[in-house]
Structure 1
Amino acid sequence: MDIQTLFGLDGKVALVTGGATGIGRMAAESLVRAGATVLLASRKGEACEAVAAELNALGASGKAIGFAGDVGTEEGVDALVAAVKDRTETLDILMNNAGITWGAPMGQFPFKAWDKVMNVNVAGLFDLTQKLLPMLKASGTVDDPARVVNVGSVMGEREMGDGAYSYSASKAAVIHLSKILAKELAGDAITVNALAPGPFVSRMTAFATHDEEMRSKVGDDVPLKRVGRDEDIAGCMLFLCGRGGAYITGAVVPVSGGINVMSGPNIFEQALH
């Protein structure tokens, strides 16, 4: 089987939420380059339109369409579903990437930081997936299922708060929910997998990745000694969404440079030296 058959996405239609920046933007470009028509949605519709124009200028076999979409409220999800249906009759791939965070030290973390973050990162993700299920079910087959890729975080896998308590908890919920949905939707020819990224350059991480010096410092704390790159996300998406990933569901892909397996020191280290 050739590479194009394994990883090509000609004729597929994908929706990427939060697709204007960061990991969503990285994923969208990989899908367009693989031949898919990619719908980009975020709260900033103008930014999605601009990114779509950039992707369409690549000369790739796929294309992008940008528009506004907000998963932070039930009304927003309903409007996004309607916008998707206005633009396509089919949907093969759903990437739930839209997310927000909130940072404050223990003792100052506000109650409102929970409602806002959980609404976008968990409730919105679930509700959008639920309401797009008819389109995904119509596209999936036993040999080539429809695909859902949810973006979690290594902070949802490891005991890492870093002042972003509601964010970390929400990403743990995303990972667990992905496994639940994988179990429930397998019979409908829909795979559900999750990414658990570590540090990537994005608007959310700009406070620590805004220049090369800062990225180098962050990378020094990663076992593989760098921050994530565009191709790290691209490789995951083409694998999970192409024919090569058709037999995988319920997986959590640790795109975190080894942070997912970091642990404490060797308890005998001092005694042995």
Structure 2
Amino acid sequence: MDYNNLFDVRNKIVLVTGGSRGIGEMIATGFVSAGAKIYITSRSADVCYKVAKELTEKGPGECIAIPADLQSFDEIKRLVEELSKREDHLDVLINNAGANWNETIDSYPDKAFEKVVNLNLKRIFTLTQACLPLLTAKASLENTSSVINIGSIDGIRAPPQETYAYSASKGGLHHMSRHMAGKLGYRGVRVNVIAPGAFQSKMMKATLEKYGDQIVSRLGVKRIGSPEDIAGTCIYLASRAGQYTNGTTITVDGGAVVTVAHM
């Protein structure tokens, strides 16, 4: 065993949804820095192309943008068709794109609930299903492909905010991922979840501005997550090091879920 190459992802073909900002951009940056070929997608075409250009210039890997609105079934179909024209297989699918909505239980809008659950749960199934021919094209039990679903610690605990659709969708995603892992492992496709805690992202911006010091004070590590934390966990799951990890949920939260108040 060459232990020096346990975390090697050079030349792997990777698709990262929501890859133009926040956690998705952190993940894409990590893979490009490690020499992989990354496709990123998001609704904002201008931002998507801009980030792809910047990451490719940094190298040594490559980043290519395929903008798409993942709320739409037809857009997912188009995304996978375009990817299939460029590549004959896919090594890693990272389902990161997501939405949130915070409103009181008395006035929580039905349309908002549908939007969040559709993107955070249903369309992850849709995209993974559509990518299966690419994910299985070169996969074997000795060299598996990897689906990494970005969940949340709010899918494990009840969050303090009134983000009912978000916590429900992430909890559902965690369990759906276990279900998919049990079915797809035989086909050379591993499915795992990363449940992040506090990271600097658009979704967390308002929360960190208001409660950042309080959140950090409760963590034993005394900081929020860094790009290396989330990218490193993804690279582990995508590399030889993670080949025996299937159907698990890895919390990357500085211990937020297990933290208890000091007496």
TM range (shorter): over 0.9
Equivalence for 1:27: 27
Equivalence for 2:75: 76
Q: 1:155 touches 1:161 (CA, 8 Å); kept in 2? A: no
Once residues 84 and 4 of structure 1 are traced to their aligned partners in structure 2, the CA distance between those partners, rounded to angstroms, is 31
Once residues 161 and 131 of structure 1 are traced to their aligned partners in structure 2, the CA distance between those partners, rounded to angstroms, is 35
Where do residues 27-176 of structure 1 align in structure 2 (5 Å cutoff)? 27-60=27-60, 62-160=61-159, 162-176=161-175
Equivalence for 1:245: 242
Deviations 1:63-82 (A, max 9, x none): 10012112212112112212
Deviations 1:115-172 (A, max 9, x none): 1001101111000000110110112122220000000000001122511110010000
Q: Which runs of 5+ in 2 are unaligned?
A: none
Q: 2:149 touches 2:194 (CA, 8 Å); kept in 1? A: yes
RMSD: 1.8
Equivalence for 1:191: 190
**Higher Cα Rg: structure 1 or 2?**
1
Q: Which runs of 5+ in 1 are unaligned?
A: none
Q: 2:88 touches 2:137 (CA, 8 Å); kept in 1? A: no
Give 1:87 deviation, angstroms: 2.6
Deviation larger for 248-257 or 106-115: 106-115
Give 1:215 deviation, angstroms: 3.7
3-state SS in 2 of match to 1:81:
helix
Once residues 101 and 202 of structure 2 are traced to their aligned partners in structure 1, the CA distance between those partners, rounded to angstroms, is 13
TM-score (norm 2): 0.94
Once residues 224 and 177 of structure 1 are traced to their aligned partners in structure 2, the CA distance between those partners, rounded to angstroms, is 30
Q: 2:218 touches 2:259 (CA, 8 Å); kept in 1? A: no
Once residues 184 and 146 of structure 1 are traced to their aligned partners in structure 2, the CA distance between those partners, rounded to angstroms, is 14
Equivalence for 1:224: 221
Once residues 83 and 165 of structure 1 are traced to their aligned partners in structure 2, the CA distance between those partners, rounded to angstroms, is 35
3-state SS in 1 of match to 2:191:
strand
Once residues 126 and 73 of structure 2 are traced to their aligned partners in structure 1, the CA distance between those partners, rounded to angstroms, is 8
Once residues 3 and 226 of structure 2 are traced to their aligned partners in structure 1, the CA distance between those partners, rounded to angstroms, is 22
Give 1:209 deviation, angstroms: 3.1
Q: Which amino acid in the other structure matches residue 42 of structure 1?
A: S
3-state SS in 1 of match to 2:65:
strand
3-state SS in 1 of match to 2:193:
strand
Give 1:174 deviation, angstroms: 0.8
Q: 2:21 touches 2:201 (CA, 8 Å); kept in 1? A: yes
3-state SS in 1 of match to 2:58:
coil
Q: 1:73 touches 1:119 (CA, 8 Å); kept in 2? A: no
Give 1:59 deviation, angstroms: 3.3
Once residues 107 and 98 of structure 2 are traced to their aligned partners in structure 1, the CA distance between those partners, rounded to angstroms, is 22
Once residues 177 and 220 of structure 2 are traced to their aligned partners in structure 1, the CA distance between those partners, rounded to angstroms, is 26
Once residues 7 and 14 of structure 1 are traced to their aligned partners in structure 2, the CA distance between those partners, rounded to angstroms, is 15
Give 1:2 deviation, angstroms: 4.6
Equivalence for 1:261: 258
Give 1:205 deviation, angstroms: 1.0
Q: 1:161 touches 1:168 (CA, 8 Å); kept in 2? A: no
Q: Which amino acid in the other structure matches residue 152 of structure 2?
A: S
Once residues 2 and 232 of structure 1 are traced to their aligned partners in structure 2, the CA distance between those partners, rounded to angstroms, is 24
